[in-house]
């Protein structure tokens, strides 16, 4: 008589399950960190795009200005002012961050 032993034993199943849990524990924090960084980079890219558009519009009329925009529930405060030596300083403020460009 021959037994059919083509399935996994309980021990093999538990070993593979523990390996998958261990792999998940190490990869999920990395995945969440990458998603957080991607979201932050998206906000920064939006800030620089808005700053560029604001500078383009204000420098065309040779005047400084202040503008506020809300995109995806994030408030962006855009400022453009003329510096001491005739150069332009443009800044964007959002979520306690500041990025400034100087011509």
Per-residue pLDDT at 43: 94
Percent of the chain that is helix, strand, coil (3-state, to 5): 50, 30, 20
pLDDT digits (tens, 9 = 90+) for 83-103: 778 788 889 999 999 988 887
pLDDT digits (tens, 9 = 90+) for 39-70: 999 999 999 999 988 888 877 776 778 889 99
Count other Cβ atoms within 10 Å, centred on residue 76: 20
To the nearest whole number, what is the mean pLDDT of the chain? 87
pLDDT digits (tens, 9 = 90+) for 63-90: 778 889 999 999 999 998 877 787 888 8
Per-residue pLDDT at 4: 65
């Amino acid at each position: 008589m021959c037994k059919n032993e083509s399935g996994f034993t309980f021990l093999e199943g538990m070993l593979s399950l523990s390996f998958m849990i261990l792999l998940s524990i190490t990869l999920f924090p990395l995945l969440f960190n990458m998603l957080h960084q991607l979201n932050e980079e998206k906000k920064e890219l939006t800030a620089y795009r808005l700053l560029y558009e604001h500078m383009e519009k204000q420098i065309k009329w040779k005047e400084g200005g202040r503008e506020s925009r809300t995109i995806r529930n994030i408030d962006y405060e855009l400022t453009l002012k003329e510096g001491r030596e005739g150069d332009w300083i443009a800044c964007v403020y959002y979520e306690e961050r500041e990025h400034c460009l100087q011509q």
